[in-house]
Structure 1
Amino acid sequence: MSDFFIEVSSSSTTSSELNGTEATGGSRDGRCFLTLKKWFKLRAGEEEIISGNPDNVQFFLYPKPLDHNYKEEIKFKDTENLKKLSLRMGQQWKIVIHGFVTNSDYKSIQDIKNAYLARMVKTGEAQGSSYNIVLVNWDQLSTPRIGDDPNMLLYRLAVNNVPVVGRRVGEFIQFLMQNGVIRNMDELHVIGFSLGAHVAGEAGNTLKELIGQVPSRVTGLDPAGPAFYDVLKFAKRGLAKTDGRFVDVIHSNMGGMGTLSKLGHADFYPNGGGPIQKRCEEEYEQNKAKSKRQMGLPVSRLAALNSCSHNKAPEFFAMSILNPYMIACKCNTYMTFKTVCPCREKAVFGEHCDPRTEGSFYLDV
């Protein structure tokens, strides 16, 4: 993804098509240049490029295991609103955060929420399997626009909004604690996908500043790589193991949309962690054949494979919520995992991972 801009067609292009999209045609290049020129005439200085109002961040509670679509909005700093909510007092909080150019209705995020609700039904809401599930919606800040062109999106602006949103999520958690809704950090698990993983880290860092504590667990699902590397880095900070008492990371598109860096106490690499997941290559060929039959226009191969691989992290995590027996092996590399690694140290992958787990782990999914 470009450090300067990504152009998206509002009518046909989805978030799954962003990476690998190339500008073609002089008129489009010229329009992009003029729009950026107009923007930078209006905005002088790095600090003024940061856009987004944290009051536009929303929090939705999904309290009904048998109705996956029912939701209630938790309004920040509204104590009267808290009294009307269907809260499960004393139970775990699962706060799930989407990424760039998406919202809380994004399939990968909805799949995680639905898996938690399904687990509640399966276990009869037994102790340890009952949750307050909250989806954070920051779409107005994850999809910043410039000028008068509704099709122009800046990844850089979304990255600059990460600390804005992360701080609001931290403040939101503090608000719940001040009103006795969350009793302590043991009840809190923050989960973020892509840019949302860095938002989750910022939330943990904010809580450290505000109350001197961090969430018991922060899970990063293929944390975004572009803008967070040491080279050409323009993000202020990214997800770090200091952002939670236990930070686990799932890598599925390393070096593409996802980071190459080890960020957690435990880092998991399903099918080697990418950059391309083998299953995505198979899915692409199937979809390509289907598109030809339907006379559709397939997306570029690179864009499709990167997006598919990136989305495998939340997909695999959702699978783990209902399957506590996904076992990974502690090995040096995926190659050694497939050949000579004796797998003497094992760890449960995903939701049911032991918070004492440390190191790099590999598994096939």
Structure 2
Amino acid sequence: MPTSIQLRSRQKKEIEYRLYTRELSDYIILDQSAEPPKGTDIRKLLSNKPVKLVTHGWKSSAENSVVMGIKESYLKNKDVAVIGIDWSDTANDYLYPLVAEYTRDVGAYVGQFLDAFCYLYNVSGERLHLIGHSLGAHVMGIAASKTKVTIGRITGLDPARPLFEFPKKPNALSLDTSDAEFVDVIHSCSGVLGVQNPIGNVDYYPNRGTPPQPGCESIFFLLEACSHARSHIYFAESIGNPTGFPACWSENWTDYLSDTECIQQTYMGENVDRNATGQYYLKTNAKEPYARNII
């Protein structure tokens, strides 16, 4: 059963942890203590697999394209365990400021889950890769900062800007480089729905990182939402095409466009170089496949 948590509103809210692997025909729900249903042994399923934990943002759920798209791409292309974290009982509130405030509580409970999971199944922090979109990126940052283990990697997919960067929240309540050994960020709606400034060890700005992203120009009133979603779509595509999004280091977009040679190159997405630092820029296609390097 999903775990019920007590948030500051004194209303019970639920978080659900859904485990997916290639061997399973459906997901298994783990409780807050990382225990599966009685009679279920998941140790063999986990084995020594990397563990990818994926979560959504405001007005979304683990049934929507963020978690499902990334999960499906992983299981198709890699032998990994995926845990989809559903906090939609909180995220579906129409009052964004309230949901933004609750990321502190949700992140703390996810952090407790991570401690229990690592202890029960002897999983090192290095095996964990936390992936979050929008508010979910900050949930993952808070969760990692609350754990007893050092998380190997966090990927922030257009981390939410309102009430996090503008106005600025303390680092303890948002995603930043102190939360894991390596933090990579994809900006696709920066300055509007997503944070504008670099907050990771490496920050990627596809198509300048601002709205409208290519292919989002014709969606009236929804330009920002379309562009905001591009971050998780690019990432999901990169899992099956690890060299599909080559990016070049540059001081800014204007310099990137004027540079005749890419001096420092790395790949945006799943196949990121953990030695990379700084800001990287690239162009994408306007429709699928978005990667310009097709394999």
- The 1:269–1:92 alpha-carbon spacing in structure 2 relative to 1, beyond 3 Å, is same
User: Does the aligned pair in 1 maintain the 2:161–2:194 contact within 8 Å?
Assistant: yes
User: Does the aligned pair in 1 maintain the 2:28–2:36 contact within 8 Å?
Assistant: no
Aligned letter for 2:239?
I
Q: Determine which structure has the larger helix proportion and give its number.
A: 1
- Is 1:191 the equivalent of 2:131? yes
Q: What CA RMSD, in Å, does the superposition of the two structures yield over aligned residues?
A: 2.2
Partner SS state of residue 278, structure 1: coil
What is the percent sequence identity of the aligned residues? 30
Q: Distance in 2 between matches of 1:49 and 1:175?
A: 23
1:182-220 deviation line (CA, Å, top 9, x unaligned): 42111100000000000010011101xxx2x32100000
Instruction: Identify the residue that residue 238 of structure 2 maps to in structure 1.
Output: 320
Q: Distance in 1 between matches of 2:23 and 2:265?
A: 32
TM-score by length of 2: 0.87
- Is 1:174 the equivalent of 2:115? yes
Larger Rg, first or second structure (1 or 2): 1
Q: Distance in 2 between matches of 1:226 and 1:317?
A: 22
- Is 1:113 the equivalent of 2:71? yes
Aligned letter for 2:199?
L
Which runs of no fewer than 5 residues in structure 1 stay unpaired?
1-47, 121-129, 145-152, 285-300
1:56-94 deviation line (CA, Å, top 9, x unaligned): 111001123685xx2111112264637615422111100
Which residues in structure 2 correspond to 1:1-365 (within 5 Å)? 50=9, 53=12, 56-64=14-22, 70-77=26-33, 79=35, 81=37, 84-86=40-42, 87-120=45-78, 130-144=79-93, 153-179=94-120, 181-207=121-147, 211=148, 213-231=149-167, 237-282=173-218, 284=219, 301-302=220-221, 304-325=222-243, 326-340=245-259, 342-365=261-284
Aligned letter for 1:74?
L
Instruction: Identify the residue that residue 292 of structure 1 maps to in structure 2.
Output: none
How many aligned residue pairs are there? 275
- The 1:83–1:264 alpha-carbon spacing in structure 2 relative to 1, beyond 3 Å, is farther
- The 1:185–1:83 alpha-carbon spacing in structure 2 relative to 1, beyond 3 Å, is farther
Aligned letter for 1:357?
A
Q: Distance in 2 between matches of 1:235 and 1:215?
A: 16
- The 1:272–1:182 alpha-carbon spacing in structure 2 relative to 1, beyond 3 Å, is farther
Aligned letter for 1:92?
P
Instruction: Identify the residue that residue 291 of structure 1 maps to in structure 2.
Output: none
TM-score by length of 1: 0.71
User: Does the aligned pair in 2 maintain the 1:97–1:191 contact within 8 Å?
Assistant: yes
Q: Which consecutive segments of 4 or more residues in structure 1 shift more than 6 A?
A: none
Q: Distance in 1 between matches of 2:98 and 2:85?
A: 19
User: Does the aligned pair in 2 maintain the 1:249–1:264 contact within 8 Å?
Assistant: yes
- The 1:359–1:57 alpha-carbon spacing in structure 2 relative to 1, beyond 3 Å, is same
User: Does the aligned pair in 2 maintain the 1:205–1:243 contact within 8 Å?
Assistant: yes
User: Does the aligned pair in 2 maintain the 1:50–1:161 contact within 8 Å?
Assistant: no
User: Does the aligned pair in 1 maintain the 2:131–2:137 contact within 8 Å?
Assistant: yes
User: Does the aligned pair in 2 maintain the 1:159–1:235 contact within 8 Å?
Assistant: no
Deviation at 1:357, TM superposition (A): 1.2
User: Does the aligned pair in 1 maintain the 2:151–2:181 contact within 8 Å?
Assistant: yes
Deviation at 1:278, TM superposition (A): 2.4
Aligned letter for 1:57?
I
Deviation at 1:158, TM superposition (A): 0.4
